[in-house]
Amino acid sequence: MDEDDEILPDFEAEVDGRRVWVTAVLERTAVIEPAPGEPKVLVNRRRLLVDPTHLRVRHLASKEAARRGREAARQLRLQEHNPAA
């Protein structure tokens, strides 16, 4: 997994010896549901013990590629508003 990958939510993990359900994964934290019906809790991702074979990962476009795309779209908008004579 590299910096352009995102861990998708909805998997089982263990926090402090207790089984939990992970409902969201953020940069440094995760949202867990300790048990059905209990309030969700924000925990540091380092506290999660997870079977890596149960993780689903999505590759994100790199930040540089996203920047290039935004710049290209900006250039197109400028051309549409200021057509060359």
Q: In this predicted model, what pLDDT tens digit does every residue of 40-53 receive, in sequence order?
A: 999 999 999 999 99
Q: 22: domain range?
A: 5-81
Name every residue whose Cβ is closer than 8 Å to that of residue 15 and which is 6 or more positions away in sequence.
32, 34, 43, 47, 48, 49
Q: Is the pLDDT of residue 63 over 70?
A: no
C-alpha to C-alpha distance for 47 and 36, rounded to whole angstroms: 20
What is this structure's pTM?
0.66
- Tell me the average pLDDT across 21-46: 94
Domain count, the chain: 1
